[in-house]
Structure 1
Amino acid sequence: MPEHRPGRALTADAPERTAVPTTARRLRLSRLLAEMIPGAHTLRVTLRGPARTWPSPHASAYDDCGRRLPLNPPQARTAARWIIRACPEADWRQEYDLDLRTGRLLRVTEARNAAVGGR
């Protein structure tokens, strides 16, 4: 019988993990979301779902022309959770748009200014 040693169990050394750059992570997430929501160009993410008084992750999908695409509640909640977890550096008290083609995450006010002409 092996000798008992107090303390932590012996484990194999974990291989070195390389950090995935945030942009690569967002781009990969964008591709997954684009597959999950066909025809979507942009996802608007907020912690305030419609008709909710408490924080509730919510996403809305928009096509190339800015028309809203229908999402069922599980899709909206799942997409929002994935984006929020992939972008912890964002201030989630505000709304953000995720461009599914480039993986860029912009505050809604910045996205509107960029669309108007960069004011």
Structure 2
Amino acid sequence: MWMQMGTPAQWSEHVPAKNERYHIEIKVTDNATKTRLPYSTVTFAATNKANGKSVETILPPMWGGSGLHYSENSPLAGDGVYAATVTVGVPTFAREMQDKDLWSKPVNAHFHFKLKEGVLVEVSEPVSAAN
């Protein structure tokens, strides 16, 4: 995976660390226009309900075979059911006057997923709610 890393940001290969076993990928799309939303801050947070351990990461924007998406490799806190939230911040790109109120507040999607023996075995449908 290639991404901008460091300060100042430079294109570098991101080699997953030993514990970065899970690839989290979010494709943020505006329902009305079917357009991927660039220039947002996208955060993934999950808590293992069994052991109470949490992970949280900001997903940087990336380009791949499926187009623009936000993703990161991440460790998770073992097997179990996780309560997860994805937060999509307000895009910072300019809008047409008629669309100025679209995406004017951050949006959260809440869902759960289950890991068994390190494998994803269940995911609920996300429930979206504006902040």
TM-score by length of 2: 0.25
Of Structure 1 and Structure 2, the greater strand share is in 2
Please say which structure displays the higher CA radius of gyration. Answer: 1
Structure with more contact order per residue of length (Cα contacts < 8 Å, sep ≥ 6): 1
